[in-house]
Amino acid sequence: MGVTFSSENQSDTNLQAEDHLALLRKTTGNDKPIAQHIVTHHHTDHMMGLNDVVKQGANLVIHPTNIIAVRKHLQEPLADNRFVRIKEASYLADGKVMLFDVPNSHAKHNLALYLPDHKLIFTEDMFGSSFQTELHSPNGWPSVDTYHRLDVLVNKINQLDIKVDQYVSSHHARVLNQAEIDKALVLSRPSKDQLIKRLFSGNTEQ
């Protein structure tokens, strides 16, 4: 049995769930059925494809507070036992996958996925940039919030005492390593008061 993960899918031209699964099987050579699909948070762009996922028989791994939004999104009712509720740090797939909630300014509850054997973490809407080598400037609004969300994520990682070598986000152009995350965390950032003052004063100086 396999586990899949919800990443952002905003375009109708993107691959549908069946095509994603076919690509996964072709790439890995693994033809096991998908038993569980992780819904990171309740935003619509991260629930696209769920109708196909549940039709294939996968249960939805989710934070309980996001079930209402998912039920509204699905075309057909889903039995209560098809939801796998995650509140605290939990393990799936015989300990190969760890999930934990990272509440932040973007989503009240947002599940992060960690692979202990690979020291790799997948997150959605917690950091990201179109740049290949770094994040966007922390001096502008709303880019600075990306850095604050990254702070929250790293604090949670430290609290759980897990080791991360690679950081993956659907919103970043490539996988980041710990040295790059450390560099982002020490960049000087304006305070919230400074940003609000700049926003309403019309002063766009960085």
Q: Where are the domains of the chain?
A: 1-85, 89-102+110-206
pTM (global) more than 0.75: yes
Walk along the chain (206 residues) in steps of 10 and give the mean pLDDT of each run: 55 56 79 87 88 90 96 95 96 95 94 97 89 81 85 97 94 89 91 82 58
Q: Report the run of H or E that residue 167 belongs to, with start and end.
A: strand 166-169
Question: What is the torsion angle, in degrees rounded to the nearest 10, for the CA atoms of residue 95, residue 101, residue 102 and residue 103?
Answer: 180
Q: Which residue has the tokens 């996958």?
A: 97
Strand partners, 98: 91, 114
Class of domain 1-85: alpha beta
